Every structure is written in C-alpha cells, then in structure tokens.
C-alpha cells in the first residue's frame, strides 16, 4: 500500500484547529479512509499569510471589476494583496512537490473551489472561487481539485480518486522516465479508461500520441498531461461504461461457451439498466480473464484504477 502519493489539503479538513473561530472541519473520509494511501500536504492560506487564530471573519467583495478579500466587520481592512502574494509563492512551491490531487474546504473565501459567496452592494451571489484555490487551478490546470463536502457523493468521490491515481501513475511511469516509448505504453494502458470517461478525448489523445514524433518531448508531456487529466475530469457514465464492458466482452468471444457468454451478456445488461453496480460485470470479466489470460486486457487500468480496498465501485 503506497502512501507516498502527495495530496494537498486545507488544514481544517485534516482536523487542524486553524479556522477563524479556532475550530476545524475534519473529514472522516479523509482522515480514516484516505490516510493509508496518501501523504497529505497541509495548507491553511489564512494562517500561512500571517493571520492569527482566532481571527476576524473575511469575505470576498466585488466592486468596480475588482475582487477583494476584506474583513466582514470592517471592509477597510483589505487582505487581497497579501493573499495573492502568499498564494503565488505557495503554489510555486507546491509545483515542485508533484502533487497528485488537492482537497479544499468548501465555501471558503480563500479555499473554496466554486459557488463561494461574493458580496456586492445589493447582496451576495454564490459565484466566486477562493483566491488561493483560484491561483492553484490557474497554475496547475491538470491537478484534480475537489471540495471536502462533495467527497460525500459516491460518484464524485470515485471520480476524484480515479484522477489522483491516474496522475500518480503518469508521474511514476512517464515523469521519471520521459520517452516516447513510456508515453505510448502509458496511453495504451488507459485506452479503456479514457473511453469510459470521455470518448471524444480518447480519440483526440489517440491522434496526439500517433503524432508524438512531431513534438518536442517536454512540450508533448505538458500537452498530454493537461489533455489526459481534462478527459478524466468527465465522470464515466453508465452508457460509456456499458460500451467499454461490451468492448471487453468481445475479447472473450472465442474462449467462452454459450452459457458463459449469455451470463456475461446478462450481467452487462443488468448493469446498463441499473439493476447491478459496475462491480458485478467487472468481477465476472476479471474471473474470465484469470481463466483466459490476455496480456492487453490484463494491463488495462480500467479493471483496477485504484486499490480495491477503497471499495469505491460498490455504489456505481
């Protein structure tokens, strides 16, 4: 079990008492279920830029095209510049840490990923992104970023963890051994995964890889990483998963007898209509793969994108 996968995280989500009221927002999923697999890199931008604990509450306000981070009770106390400077230097430092994901605190004016309250003269709208997280996502567009609360949704949770393990695998396979061969081998292992997440991106990345010799390797690495992680951000739908399962089924047509073929067809169809979770057809396919080995299928990450112990496909 590998826990050298670096994940950035808002300190309060880890249970550190760094919030404005000296409280925290601990996530049991993070501290109990994810901790064995990940090395957490804890960041609280507000404490990082020098604010005390406890501290006055802050919020985002919008005036004359400018977004500002000010104290709630005294908007003349403006922390925008300090936060922007801190965010830039911290994110630059984190780029060196080869992060594979980031879990941020929802609704926070510094850490929120979406729908953060922005106050205007005539009230507030949930349209903002926290200043720190905005810098993070601008500088590392390939990085999987998710909010603590959204990780309670089984589909969003599974998608985030899949992206984290994909990026980690990319760094392990390609980052440490950058060559055309290592990229082509990596892409080959993710063909079915990409088909399930976003068929259009699967085609685009396939074309990109086919023309790899036309690119400078470093430039290709950057292009492919962004394309790969953008594709993975699309959630694998039931329809796309069904197409991949039917594609997998095709590999066994010579090896299975009539009864086994019918059983596999039925289990895939039961998944397609929502009677069974994705785990059911995958378990059967893995069983047939043991009896009828196939080198190409055995290396497909689609069959096991992350450790089974995380039990993330039970609810899909």
Shortest CA distance to 209 belongs to which of 237, 181, 174? 181
Give the orientation angle of helix 199-210 with respect to helix 180-189, to 10 degrees. 160
| pLDDT tens-digit readout, 248-278 | 999 998 999 999 999 999 999 999 999 999 9
**Rounded-to-integer distance, Cα 171 and Cα 169, Å:** 5
CA dihedral 79, 82, 84, 90 (to 10 degrees): -130
Q: Look at residue 1 and tell me whether its pLDDT is greater than 60.
A: no
Per-position DSSP letters for 143-209, written without gaps between them? S-EEETGGGGSHHHHHHHHHHHHHHHHHIIIIITS-SHHHHHHHHHHTHHHHHHH-HHHHHHHHHHH
The total number of residues shown for the chain amounts to 316
Band the pLDDT of 315: cuts 50, 70, 90: confident
| pLDDT tens-digit readout, 30-83 | 999 999 999 999 999 999 999 999 999 999 999 777 899 999 999 999 999 999
Reading the block at residue 68, the tokens are 């500002």
| pLDDT tens-digit readout, 86-135 | 999 999 999 999 999 999 999 999 999 999 999 998 889 999 999 999 99
| pLDDT tens-digit readout, 180-219 | 999 999 999 999 999 999 999 999 999 999 999 999 999 9
Three-class SS state of 21: coil
Reading the block at residue 227, the tokens are 């394309």
**Rounded-to-integer distance, Cα 234 and Cα 273, Å:** 21
């Amino acid at each position: 079990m590998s826990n050298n996968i670096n994940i950035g995280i808002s300190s309060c989500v880890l249970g550190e008492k760094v919030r404005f009221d000296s409280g925290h927002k601990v996530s049991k999923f993070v501290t109990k279920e994810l901790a064995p697999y990940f090395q957490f890199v804890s960041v609280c931008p507000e404490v990082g830029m020098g604010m005390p604990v406890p501290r006055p509450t802050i919020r985002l306000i919008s005036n004359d095209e400018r977004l500002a981070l000010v104290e709630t009770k005294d908007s003349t106390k403006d922390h925008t510049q300090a936060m922007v400077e801190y965010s830039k230097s911290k994110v630059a430092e984190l780029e060196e840490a080869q992060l594979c994901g980031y879990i941020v605190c929802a609704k926070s004016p510094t850490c929120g990923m979406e729908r953060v309250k922005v106050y205007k003269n005539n009230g507030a709208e949930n349209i903002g992104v926290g200043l720190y997280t905005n810098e993070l996502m601008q500088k590392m567009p390939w990085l999987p970023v998710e909010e603590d609360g959204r990780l309670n949704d089984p589909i969003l949770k599974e998608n985030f963890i899949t992206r984290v393990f994909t990026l980690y695998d990319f760094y392990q396979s390609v980052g440490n051994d950058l060559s055309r061969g290592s990229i082509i081998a990596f892409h080959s292992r993710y063909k079915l995964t990409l088909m399930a997440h976003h068929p259009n991106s699967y085609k685009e990345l396939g074309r990109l890889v086919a023309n790899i010799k036309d690119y400078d390797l470093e430039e290709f690495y950057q292009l492919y990483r962004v394309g790969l992680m953008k594709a993975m951000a699309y959630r694998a739908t039931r329809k796309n998963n069904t197409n991949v399962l039917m594609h997998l089924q095709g590999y066994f047509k010579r090896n299975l007898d009539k009864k086994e073929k019918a059983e596999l067809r039925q289990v895939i169809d039961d998944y397609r209509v929502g009677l069974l979770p994705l785990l059911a057809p995958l378990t059967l396919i893995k069983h047939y793969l043991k009896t009828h080995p196939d080198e190409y299928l055995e290396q497909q990450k689609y069959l096991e994108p992350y450790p089974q112990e995380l039990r993330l496909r039970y609810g899909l």
